[in-house]
Amino acid sequence: MAFSLSDEHTAIRDAVREFGENEIEPVAEKHDREGTYPEALREKAAEYDFVAPTIPIEYGGAGMDKLSSTIVTEELWRADPGIGSAVGSAGFGTDMILEFGDEWMKAEWLPRIAAGETASCSMISEPAHGSNVAGIETVAEKDGDEYVLDGSKMWITNGTVADVGVAMAKTSPGEGHRGITAFLVEMDADGVRTEKIDNKLGIRASDLAEVVLDEVRVPEENVIGEVDRGFYQLMEFFASGRTNVAAQAVGAAQGALDAAIEYANQREQFDQRISEFQAIQHKVAEMATKVEAARSLTYRAATQVEQENQEIAAQYSSMAKLFASEISVEVADEGVQIHGGSGYVTDYPAERYYRDARITKIYEGTSEIQKNIIADRIL
C-alpha cells in the first residue's frame, strides 16, 4: 500500500521542527540533567496544537488525523525524547474519554488538556502486571451510587503532574479480562497518592510515578463506557499507542543520526574531517537507511490505524513498534560510536539519545510481546 504526505502534513512537520529547534533543543540538556518536567513548554506547545493533536476541534483540539499526529510525535522526539515525551504524553487517556466517555467528561477535560492547562494520565500497569493487562489486581467495589477503588499503579506517565486520569480496575475480579472497567479519576481525590520515580535511565524530563489508590471513591457516573468492558475498550487503542511509540523511536533515531552527522562534519583526525573516512560514511549510510525504513513502516501503520481496519492495523502497528524501536537503539548506539569518547559524556546529545531510545523497546508492549502478536497474525 502506497502513501504520500500532503502539503498539510509537510507544513505540520516544518512547524514542529521549528518549534523543536527553537524551544526544545536549547533547554533539553538542562531538563535531562535536572529531571525537571517542562510545564512551560507543554503550555507553549499547546498554542501550536502540538498537545493531544487528535482531540477534535469542537473540544479545543486540532482534530489531526493519525498520520499528522504521528509526524508531531516524531518531530518532538527528534528535538529531544525527554521533553518530546512530556509534551506528547500530556493527553494520555483522552482517546478513551473521547470514544467512550460521557459528554460531560469530554466537555470538562478535553479543552483543558488541549489548551495545555493540565495533563492527563492512563493508569493501567501495576507493580506485578505490565504486559499482562488482564492480570491487574486493582479492584473497584460498588457502594451505593459510588465505586471504591483500591490498588497500586506503576510506571504511570504524568502521575504527579496530571489533574485527571483513566484508571483500569477489576469490577468482577474472578473474570480476568472480562471483568475490567475504566474509571475517570481526579488526581486530587481523597485516597490518591503519587510518588515520583526519578531514578530513570532516560526520558528524564517526562514525569513518571507510582500511583496508590487507597479507598478512592468515585461517582458511578465516572465509569467510562460499560462496566466490565474496559479491557475491550482499551484494545481499540493498542494499535494507535504502538504506532505512537514507533514514531517516538523514529524521532529518537533521526535525532541521533542528525547529531552524528553534525559531529562527523566537525571532528578532525589525521588532518581531515572524520566524515571523509569510508568507515564513518558507511555507518551513516546504514543508519540513514534504517531510519527511513522504520519511518516508512510507521507511516504505513498510521495510515492503517486511520482507516480503522483493526486486524491489519494491529499487525502493522506491532511491526512498526518492533522494528522502529530496535532500529532506534541500534542507530543511537552507532551515534555514540561515531562520537567516540565524546559520545560517552553529556557534552554532546549522543549519549542522551542512546539512553532515551531504550525505553521504546519496553513500554506499550515489549519487543517480545510484539513478536508474539505478529506471529499470531501471520501463522
Helix, strand, coil in percent for the chain, rounding step 5: 60, 15, 25
Which of 34, 210, 364, 368 does the annotation list as catalytic?
364
Q: What is the DSSP letter of 188?
A: T
* 99 is an active site residue: no
C-alpha gyration radius of the chain? 21
Could you tell me which residues come within 8 angstroms of residue 49 by beta carbon, excluding any fewer than 6 positions away?
Answer: 61, 62, 64, 114
Which of 52, 68, 160, 21 minimizes the C-alpha distance to 116? Answer: 52
Answer for the pair 39, 161: CB distance below 8 angstroms, yes or no.
Answer: yes
Cα separation of 205 and 155, whole Å?
14
Give the end-to-end CA distance of the chain in Å, rounded to a whole number. 21
Could you tell me which residues come within 8 angstroms of residue 252 by beta carbon, excluding any fewer than 6 positions away?
Answer: 77, 78, 81, 328, 332, 353, 356, 357, 360
How do strand 162-170 and strand 119-123 relate by DSSP bridges? parallel
373: cell is 502478536
Answer for the pair 322, 297: CB distance below 8 angstroms, yes or no.
Answer: no
SS (H, E, C) 109-154: HHHHHHCCCCEEEEECCECCECCCHHHCCCEEEEECCEEEEEEEEE
Cα separation of 68 and 11, whole Å?
10
Which of 209, 314, 338, 327 minimizes the C-alpha distance to 261? Answer: 338
Q: How far is CA 57 from CA 52, 114, 226, 287, in A?
A: 11, 10, 26, 38
Please state the separation of Cα 199 from the chain's center in Å. Answer: 19
Which residues have a catalytic role annotated?
Answer: 364
